[in-house]
Amino acid sequence: MATETSIGESFRGIIEAVRDHAGVETAFGEPIEREGRTVVPVARVAYGFGGGFGEGDEVTDDEEGTVESGGSGGGGGGGAVTRPLGVIEVTDHETRFVPLGDRRRSLVVAGVAFVFGLLLGRSLARGE
């Protein structure tokens, strides 16, 4: 059976691993300098982790009179997702955030696709 010390050490190891990878460098990339501009990549980073533990009991089989004991368990896991958002552009005259992609355009395309699918579904349902 695992002890509180070994469980604590396991969680401490997980927390240290997350801390080592959760630095500013993960969300902000290395600055790139070109032609009087400095560009810093920006990303959204999300981390998650969890763990669990189980224990066993003595089990008595009344028909045979046998007693079994044992059990334990444990587990843990985690993951991370990084999504690029854009860049910070720095010049002598201004600093601005330039997003990657156009969200409005993506929403319009998704809306058009939805309406097209809806109309196609109605047409097929009528047998046209």
One digit per residue, pLDDT tens: the chain, 128 residues? Answer: 455 566 677 777 777 777 676 666 777 788 889 888 999 988 888 877 777 777 877 676 666 666 677 777 777 777 777 888 888 999 999 999 988 876 666 677 777 777 777 777 777 777 65
Residue 89: closest CA among 4, 12, 31, 25: 31
- The CA distances from residue 48 to 9, 12, 15, 80, in Å, are 18, 15, 11, 6
Q: Report the amino acid identity of residue 104.
A: R
Residue 88: closest CA among 21, 18, 40: 40
3-state secondary structure of 126: helix
